[in-house]
Structure 1
Amino acid sequence: MRRAVVICPGRGTYNKPDLGSLMRLNPDKTELFQRFDAIRRAGGQDTVTELDGAATYSVARHTRGDTAAALIYAASYADFLSLKDIDVLAVTGNSMGWYTTLACAGALSAEQGFELVNTMGQMMQESLIGGQIVYPITDDTWQPDTGRRAEVMQLVARIASRADHSLALSIDLGGLLVLAGNDAGLAAFTEQAEPQGQFPLRLPNHAAFHTALQAPVALAAQNRFDPTFFAQPKRPMIDGRGAIWWPHATDTEALHRYTLGHQVTTPYDFAKAISCAAREFAPDVFIVLGPGTTLGGAVAQSLIKAGWLGMRSKQDFQTRQSETTLLTAMGRPDQRPLVTGNSPPADAIRPL
């Protein structure tokens, strides 16, 4: 049995190719999806099966916080339940993926996790404070460029010092930085940052997650969810600081404060979480739950940044990956069977 760290993806991972994937990839999870549908229906929202079963994918509809969060959680949690012959050593996630982590690790039930994700998605969408931009800080070999990172953060600081400009680090993805702020701050960065292909890239329907701008959302969430909502995890969890929450040793009030306070209003260090997972648990494989495949590169770049197994470049990672599967993305039809024991239906396969 392979030993694994499971990684839960965040916003931006359910895209056009993923439409219809809930039932195609997890046909045995109908009852689970019905339970999630009941929660959405009770709140007067479109159900996850209706959204996933739509005739066409709509950016305006499917990337909204109150839609995307529910779809991503449903896909990720279903994938977690589909793992076979895997010894899960720990669970971590990126941004919104922390909420899914709580459920996969057992600190929340499946329905509680869905309720939390759905509520936070609604709150974020209703306020929609600020936005996010993605910008690369590695070269083509995925080697960390500390000089470029320093220059980017200096530019961020200069912009943030201006009147009526807000800009800060939101997420460290290893090879990419996600920056967040108000429209003035984001516009200034877009104008002044050196173009890198498609970057700087503004993310649609994303708010200024993991910054002080989200303080009103954090307060509303703390008032909505009581500390008793959280339980002891059954598996170790690694948060956005690289801190580990251990079974039988977790202060659930502290978990409440972190999840609905610190995690909402301060930067999320995904690269550090992956580094911690590698060094503290030394798994045989890292498993990225679906939907989509967009987080795989960030995991690889974070492992390179950490120097895990002596890897220093993209070529090093590819060599390791060809020798023994170090990273498995369940959104890839060629890799999913490696951790589920089942090949996906033919109509679920999509181009890589």
Structure 2
Amino acid sequence: MSRAFVFPGQGAQTIGMGRELAEAYPAAKAVFDEVDDALNLKLSALIWEGEQDELTLTKNAQPALMATSLAAFRALEAEGVKITDAAYVAGHSLGEYSALAAAGALSVADAARLLRTRGEAMQSAVPVGIGAMAALLGLDFKTAAEVAREAAQGEVCQAANDNDPAQVVVSGHKAAVERAVEIAKEKGAKRAVLLPVSAPFHCSLMAPAAEVMAGALARIEMGVPKVPLIANVVAEPVHAGHEIEQLLVEQVTGSVRWRESVLWMAHHGVDEIWEIGAGKALSGMIRRIEKSVACRAVGTPDEVKAAAESLQG
């Protein structure tokens, strides 16, 4: 059996995530402590006892989700699971930073600081109310991209997330995205709805944030991951640190090619994927992309133990 470890993106955050892991595994608690120290703030207190609205702020959600994923991964390591038990790692948007930290290419502290910077830069790239994102359900990527082009009308509207065969997210100027919602319905979308997000991620409006991330990534040491990363913007494996840095910059304005990434892994022998961290959104997408791939969510102590035991069977 060949497996991949994947790491969730924004939207999976919930108050209390990772707390049971921190209580059960000292190595998991150490991750939250390391993130708190790196950011010089008690992010763990916000994650476990704060308000959902504050946790959902992009600058908080991004490092918080990475911390929870890495806590789950350290718990797995405490149970004898190794990164090399996976053939590949991948992450959805910010989840790429979690994947790189798990694979040893980034320190947890660097990942936390980069994601805090990324969250702040993405939030400030576009004034509130100027941009929007919408989920188009029931349209394939090609059709959704055509909808976005038709809706643009001189503004920005791009297919931002190719999540699964029937879910594509478009991003851009608010009026253009609203036009895309209506056009999508005319083209047979089952549903087309605006998303409750604070900025239009993964489109060209994020160019100022991409510049910020280019500078931030240039200041850190990106190592070689112990297993290849399936990168969002190319949907194939990358190994070299300098190439990964460039793709992380491109990812800010580029499409998250998740459907293609999962298909690439499935076509290259992966038949089991573990979603490590908060929530089970990626598992749902993966099942819709390729039914032959078995999915396992790993976000609680019980799930960590069950996952580790599955390797010993």
- The alignment's TM-score, normalised by the length of structure 1, stands at 0.76
Residue 21 (str. 1) matches residue 10 (str. 2): no
Q: Which residue number corresponds to residue 232 of structure 1?
A: 224
Q: Which residue number corresponds to residue 257 of structure 2?
A: 269
Q: In structure 2, what is the Cα distance between the partners aligned to 1:9 and 1:209?
A: 16
Q: In structure 2, what is the Cα distance between the partners aligned to 1:167 and 1:255?
A: 26
Contact map agreement 2:274 2:297 (CA 8 A) in 1: yes
* CA positional deviation for 1:203: 2.6
Q: In structure 1, what is the Cα distance between the partners aligned to 2:220 and 2:44?
A: 30
Q: Which residue number corresponds to residue 184 of structure 1?
A: 175
Residue 166 (str. 1) matches residue 156 (str. 2): yes
Aligned to 1:21, the other structure's residue is in SS state coil
Q: Which residue number corresponds to residue 99 of structure 2?
A: 101
Residue 152 (str. 1) matches residue 144 (str. 2): yes
Contact map agreement 2:161 2:168 (CA 8 A) in 1: yes
Matches within 5 A, 1:248-263: 250=240, 252-260=241-249, 262-263=250-251
Contact map agreement 1:64 1:205 (CA 8 A) in 2: no
Kindly provide the amino acid, as one letter, of the partner of residue 296 in structure 1: S
Q: In structure 2, what is the Cα distance between the partners aligned to 1:85 and 1:30?
A: 17
Q: Which residue number corresponds to residue 202 of structure 1?
A: 194
Deviations 1:181-226 (A, max 9, x none): 11111222234432967x4233323422221111111111112331
Identity %: 23
Residue 48 (str. 1) matches residue 43 (str. 2): yes
Q: In structure 2, what is the Cα distance between the partners aligned to 1:153 and 1:6?
A: 29
Q: Which residue number corresponds to residue 68 of structure 1?
A: 61
Aligned to 1:135, the other structure's residue is in SS state strand
Q: Which residue number corresponds to residue 39 of structure 1?
A: 38
Aligned to 2:170, the other structure's residue is in SS state strand
Residue 193 (str. 1) matches residue 187 (str. 2): no
Q: Which residue number corresponds to residue 8 of structure 1?
A: 7
* CA positional deviation for 1:21: 2.5
Contact map agreement 1:4 1:285 (CA 8 A) in 2: yes
Q: Which residue number corresponds to residue 87 of structure 2?
A: 89
Aligned to 1:173, the other structure's residue is in SS state strand
Q: In structure 2, what is the Cα distance between the partners aligned to 1:183 and 1:214?
A: 14
Aligned to 2:18, the other structure's residue is in SS state helix
* CA positional deviation for 1:153: 2.9
Q: Which residue number corresponds to residue 323 of structure 1?
A: none
Aligned to 2:87, the other structure's residue is in SS state strand
Deviations 1:9-66 (A, max 9, x none): 1111113xxx21322133222222111111222xxx5x221112226x433x121101
Q: In structure 1, what is the Cα distance between the partners aligned to 2:219 and 2:289?
A: 32
Give ranges in structure 2 of 5+ residues lacking alignment: none
Q: In structure 2, what is the Cα distance between the partners aligned to 1:171 and 1:340?
A: 31
Kindly provide the amino acid, as one letter, of the partner of residue 255 in structure 2: P
* CA positional deviation for 1:335: 4.8
Matches within 5 A, 1:206-221: 206-221=198-213
Deviations 1:312-339 (A, max 9, x none): xxxxx7xxxxxxxx11012478755421
